[in-house]
Amino acid sequence: MNKKVFVTRAIFQDAIDQLISAGVETKIWPDELPPTTLELINNAADCHGILSMITDHINKKVIDRCPNLEVISNMAVGVNNIDLKYAGFRGIKVGNTPDVLTQSTAELTIGLILMLCKNLYQQIDDTKHGKWATWHPIKNLGMELSGKTLGVFGMGRIGQKVASIASLAFGMKVIYHSRSNITAKQKIDANAVSFEKLLHLADIISIHCDLNEETFGLFSQEIFKQMKNNSMLINTSRGEIINQKDLETALSNGPLKSAAIDVTYPEPLPSNSKLFQLPNLIISPHIGSATLDARTKMANIAVKNILNAFNSENLVSLANNSYLQIT
Ligand code: DGY
């Protein structure tokens, strides 16, 4: 196969070997940090495929500088780092890796919910630092999940998985607000409610929507004001959905009791970010899909999407279907 691919970060060798065995000339970005836009262009300029990560901004400028490009295969479910419309206009297929990271991301979400409800991060840290004076009948108290209301914002695959674990494993009442109307969710014991009701009723809100023009900065002061007193917020989707300045206020002055975010804006946060000073905020380093299980499958699908595009076969998952016009 007379094709070249730029892989923007070291991925599992097994996945790379699949490209090499198919006769694809494969260039791998060797650094720990992602390539800059210029480095991306310099490396991908003569390539037919880019195997990208969410840390690569594949915009019009990049696409225009890669005249041979046939496929952009993102090793992620989210594709907000790619100009889908422009890629489609140029006849370039964009692949992503849905489904295989649903379980991992849902498990992380549940882990963060548990951490907040038991105040685990603080309790472990205090213990380590000699602040465990004695067992105390009315101190170090957390909250049980059973009977509490979880509000899921965005009932796609991950939202549905979180809803079902919360309801089946922990006996939570689940309500959700979603644009999508997916049949699978009918099997889940959860009730659809308006956004306002979700904000008013949920003890814990977990964000699982896409990042788009409507959701950018959506969780702002105006929304926080409508949330229940002492409620908790989790975000494992995209950092941009939360207005971080307003989150800081809602965590300092209420109504939020605590929050856990796996995603921030930017990523990583600058080391002097005020968010790091908040005792009731947990920040993890965008690890929703970071399990060996999920990342192995994601890498394999990303490679398959490249090879399928080169072989004029359907991609395992085509993210820009509605924009694609083969030129
Ligand atoms: C995704 O796939 O969109 C995740 O956020 C990457 O970890």
For atom 6 of ligand 1, the residue with the nearest CA is 76
Profile the chain (327 residues) by mean pLDDT over runs of 10 residues. 96 98 98 98 98 98 98 98 98 98 98 98 96 96 98 96 97 93 68 97 98 97 98 98 98 98 98 97 98 98 98 97 84
CA of 83 to the centre of ligand 1 (A): 16
For residue 326, the model assigns a pLDDT of 67
Q: Which atom of ligand 1 is nearest to the CA of 76?
A: 2
Identify how many contiguous H helices and E strands the chain contains and give both numbers: 11, 12
Distance (Å, rounded) from C-alpha 163 to C-alpha 157? 10
For atom 2 of ligand 1, the residue with the nearest CA is 76
Distance (Å, rounded) from C-alpha 264 to C-alpha 30? 25
Residue 149 pairs with which residues in a beta bridge? 173
For atom 1 of ligand 1, the residue with the nearest CA is 76
CA of 63 to the centre of ligand 1 (A): 22
Residues framing ligand 1 (Cβ under 6 A): 54, 76-78, 101, 286, 288-289
Q: Which atom of ligand 1 is nearest to the CA of 263?
A: 5
Six-digit token pair at 252? 């300092």
